[in-house]
């Protein structure tokens, strides 16, 4: 029996599961299991796995299988650096042209994030990591949208093997929620006061927050399986 899903759809499912850490780094993905799961033959499954390998989500090892890649911290830092450099410039441009309606839109995005945050304190079991992340990103997206830089935004936030998984590690257990809420409020204040010199220090603190919060835990036994231990990205 063939599946109703295309190779693209199966790819998106597996990519999402890897990014959301439902399939963990260094976990082996079985072709046979995928064939049974999606009711599809080996040929299209192998095509999907090869595409995942091209995008650095997995490594296909002869005689061993398909292994989910670990996170490369050096590449995480470069992705954060890239986003910081671009977003600082975009936010400066936004502040120079934003209207009261644009600022009201940002307040609305913050209110939606606040509602998601309230679930963490009232009912932690209902706290959805991905919902919180999407609402967090939706606020940042506003200044890219208003400055007509959505192409840059889509590239900065596309699913990526290292940074996309790292930020979810930080969100796990809601450890980053208080910082994010406070820093978003400070961003709003910077925008309303048009305080351009304050942009880079705050965005640097905001975007590098995961590295700061996790600190030495990054090298603990608990997280060892998530990260590569050498300087090469496999």
What is the domain-level CATH number for residue 113? Answer: 1.20.120
Distance CA 23, CA 34 (A): 13
Q: Are 135 and 40 in contact (CB under 8 A)?
A: no
Question: Is residue 151 included in any domain, yes or no?
Answer: yes
Do residue 213 and residue 101 come from a single domain? yes
Question: Is residue 223 included in any domain, yes or no?
Answer: no
Do residue 99 and residue 189 come from a single domain? yes
Question: Is residue 206 included in any domain, yes or no?
Answer: yes
Question: Is residue 125 included in any domain, yes or no?
Answer: yes
Query: Tell me, what's the pLDDT at 123?
Result: 79
Do residue 108 and residue 212 come from a single domain? yes
Query: Tell me, what's the pLDDT at 51?
Result: 98
Give CA 32 to chain center in angstroms. 29
Do residue 79 and residue 104 come from a single domain? yes
CA proximity to 110, closest of 157, 167, 180, 51: 180
Q: pTM, whole model, 2 decimals? A: 0.88
Do residue 28 and residue 105 come from a single domain? no
One digit per residue, the tens of pLDDT, for the chain of length 234 reads: 445 899 999 999 999 999 999 999 999 999 999 999 999 999 999 999 999 999 999 999 998 899 999 999 999 999 999 999 999 999 999 999 999 999 999 999 999 999 888 877 777 777 788 888 999 999 999 999 999 999 999 999 999 999 999 998 888 755 788 899 999 999 999 999 999 999 999 999 999 998 888 887 777 887 888 998 654 444
Query: Tell me, what's the pLDDT at 1?
Result: 42
Distance CA 173, CA 99 (A): 36
Do residue 90 and residue 77 come from a single domain? yes
Query: Tell me, what's the pLDDT at 96?
Result: 97
Do residue 84 and residue 192 come from a single domain? yes
Query: Tell me, what's the pLDDT at 102?
Result: 98
Distance CA 113, CA 96 (A): 25
Count of structural domains within the chain: 2
Query: Tell me, what's the pLDDT at 230?
Result: 55
3-state SS assignment for residue 67: strand
Question: Is residue 234 included in any domain, yes or no?
Answer: no
Query: Tell me, what's the pLDDT at 206?
Result: 94
Question: Is residue 228 included in any domain, yes or no?
Answer: no
Please, where are the H alpha helices in 158-198?
163-171, 177-193
Do residue 174 and residue 124 come from a single domain? yes
Query: Tell me, what's the pLDDT at 232?
Result: 43
Do residue 98 and residue 208 come from a single domain? yes
Distance CA 162, CA 146 (A): 28
Distance CA 175, CA 54 (A): 32
Query: Tell me, what's the pLDDT at 76?
Result: 94
3-state SS assignment for residue 62: coil
Do residue 81 and residue 179 come from a single domain? yes
Do residue 64 and residue 114 come from a single domain? no
Report the CATH number that the domain containing residue 20 is assigned in CATH: 1.10.10.10
Distance CA 62, CA 56 (A): 17
Question: Is residue 139 included in any domain, yes or no?
Answer: yes
Do residue 133 and residue 106 come from a single domain? yes
Query: Tell me, what's the pLDDT at 173?
Result: 58
Residue 96 belongs to domain spanning = 73-217
Query: Tell me, what's the pLDDT at 3?
Result: 59
């Amino acid at each position: 029996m063939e599946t109703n899903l295309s190779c693209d759809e199966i790819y998106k499912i597996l990519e999402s599961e890897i990014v959301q850490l439902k399939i963990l780094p260094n976990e082996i993905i079985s072709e046979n299991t995928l064939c049974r799961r999606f009711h599809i033959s080996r040929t299209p499954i192998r095509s999907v796995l090869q595409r995942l390998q091209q995008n650095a989500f997995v490594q296909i090892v002869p005689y061993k299988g398909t292994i989910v890649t670990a996170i490369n911290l050096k590449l995480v830092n470069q992705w954060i650096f890239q986003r910081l450099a671009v977003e600082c410039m975009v936010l400066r441009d936004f502040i120079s042209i934003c209207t009261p309606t644009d600022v009201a839109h940002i307040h609305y995005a913050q209110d939606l994030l606040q509602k998601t945050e309230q679930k963490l304190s009232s009912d932690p079991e209902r706290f959805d990591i991905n919902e919180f992340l999407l609402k967090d990103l939706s606020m940042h997206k506003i200044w890219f949208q208003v400055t007509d830089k959505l192409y840059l935004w889509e590239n900065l936030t596309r699913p990526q093997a290292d940074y996309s998984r790292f930020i979810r590690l930080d969100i796990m257990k809601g450890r980053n929620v208080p910082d994010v809420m406070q820093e978003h409020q400070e961003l709003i204040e910077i925008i309303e006061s048009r305080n351009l010199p304050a942009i880079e220090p705050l965005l640097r603190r905001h975007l590098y927050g995961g590295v700061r919060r996790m600190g030495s835990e990054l090298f603990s036994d608990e997280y060892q399986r998530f990260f590569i231990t050498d300087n090469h990205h496999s």
